Amino acid sequence: MLPSPIDIISLRQNICTQTSDNVRRQYLDDFYALRPRIPAFQNCSIPVPQSATLFDPRPSLSGRELVGAAPTGKLATLSCESEAAPPEGRMSARSTRLKDEGTKLQVVSAGAIAGLVSRFIVAPLDVVKIRLQLQPYSLSDPLAPLRAAPAYHGAVATLRHILRHEGLTALWKGNVPAELLYVFYAAIQFTTYRTTTLFLQTALPTRLPDPAESFIAGASSGALATSITYPLDLLRTRFAAQGRRRIYGSLRSAVWDIKRDEGYRGFFRGICPALGQIVPFMGIFFVTYEGLRIQLSGFNMPWGGEDATAGVVGSIVAKTAVFPLDLVRKRIQVQGPTRARYVYSDIPEYTSALRGIAAIARTEGLRGLYKGLPISLIKSAPASAVTVWTYERSLKLLMNLDANREAQL
């Protein structure tokens, strides 16, 4: 899966909480692999635990050159910004500097705050996307205005309709399970990614190429994280699909009602298309990403722009290719005894993902398979920006609070 802002934040947390230099170097490898694919993180930094001596793993440097050790009691940071090194001790054209990054607890806390705030800010875009995906008829249908359910014509019109008829708070329907999903998914994904990567590097007689290693580790971690957190994803969709008439009064009542009426299988409706889109996404992304990197390598873009461009284009191509699976997953998630009680009371019944895709293409046209795609692509930019902004300011605030507390003692 394409790395998200929380992925970078999680890497920083993992680096600063590791005591093994070997494991920390592996996290550095992951950092250098992920960072160029998110433009907002081109100048982000890496925290280094105190007394840790790290070596830059990038092949562009000659040998394994010493890049720094953290000062006592604090976390130093390996900044990603390019700047000239002083005459003595110049290491490379891209010298790395150190700066104060706070304690381990401060870094972890700031990362958690950034993830939760970012999720809260982009929640309205998620609700809009889900409403568009669940709309079960073509916008060109002449009978659409006569239906009892609203006819959404684009993201802006959908946003206005929700505000007018359901109020401002409706834009955060399903935000509680979404926040839990965001946190647990990232934790499971990174734990599995690291475990799988270390296994591939130690169990095989020869190391796999980096793209193949990333593909296997990414697909494995994404599949496991999706499987474990899937009930939260389903709950998020069902809450977002509620109109003015509430089906579930609370998260607790939703869990109880689904278990009572649908059994444990009800929490995993649509998991097959959810898992089915992971491997194609990874394959399409890496093929596009690696191909564009080669094509753009001669342009010498500033701040690694060729990697960022390849990452953005690869993400758009891969997400567009698998988006029909995401759409049919949302439709299947609202199946069951409550299917006719959501904002759309006429959502068709789908017995499988493939039959669902065929039915949507037949009744709503090929465009129907891509409802909500533009807003899905657009929301990643503000999510990255909010995460970076919140993380840096949360970290600074926590450091100032601790400094003031120490000064008063």
Sequence ranges of the domains in the chain: 104-270+333-399
Predicted confidence (pLDDT) per residue in 159-203, tens digit: 999 999 999 999 999 999 999 998 888 778 878 888 898 899 888
Rounded-to-integer distance, Cα 151 and Cα 154, Å: 10
Closest C-alpha among 262, 178, 272 to residue 223:
272
Predicted confidence (pLDDT) per residue in 29-55, tens digit: 666 666 555 555 555 555 444 444 343
**Rounded to 5 degrees, what are φ and ψ at 204?**
-95, 145
What does DSSP say about strands 66-69 and 76-79: parallel, antiparallel, or unpaired?
A: unpaired
CA atoms 382, 188, 273, 176: torsion sign: negative
Rounded-to-integer distance, Cα 88 and Cα 383, Å: 41
Rounded-to-integer distance, Cα 284 and Cα 322, Å: 9
**Rounded to 5 degrees, what are φ and ψ at 47?**
-75, 145
CA atoms 184, 185, 186, 192: torsion sign: positive
What residues does 77 pair with on adjacent strands? 47
Q: Which pLDDT does position 224 carry in this prediction?
A: 93
Q: Which pLDDT does position 48 carry in this prediction?
A: 46
- Global model pTM greater than 0.85: no
Q: Which pLDDT does position 150 carry in this prediction?
A: 64
Element (H, E) at 69: strand 66-69
Per-residue pLDDT of the chain (409 residues; tens, 9 = 90+): 455 555 655 666 566 655 566 666 666 766 666 655 555 555 555 544 444 434 333 333 333 333 333 333 344 344 333 333 333 333 333 333 334 566 767 877 887 788 888 889 999 999 999 999 999 877 666 555 555 566 677 889 899 999 999 999 999 999 999 999 988 887 788 788 888 988 998 888 888 888 888 889 889 988 999 999 999 999 999 999 998 888 998 999 999 999 999 999 999 999 999 999 998 998 888 888 888 888 887 777 766 677 778 888 888 899 999 999 999 999 999 999 999 899 888 889 998 999 999 999 999 999 999 999 999 988 877 777 787 788 888 888 988 988 888 888 7
Rounded-to-integer distance, Cα 27 and Cα 259, Å: 40
- CATH number (2.70.70.10, 3.40.50.150, 2.60.40.740, 1.50.40.10) of 104-270+333-399 reads 1.50.40.10
User: How far, in whole angstroms, is CA 272 from its chain's centroid?
Assistant: 20
How many CA atoms does the CB half-sphere of 223 hold within 13 Å?
16
Beta carbons of 45 and 101 less than 8 angstroms apart: yes
Beta carbons of 65 and 55 less than 8 angstroms apart: yes
Length of the chain: 409
Runs of H (alpha helix) within 18-69 = 21-34
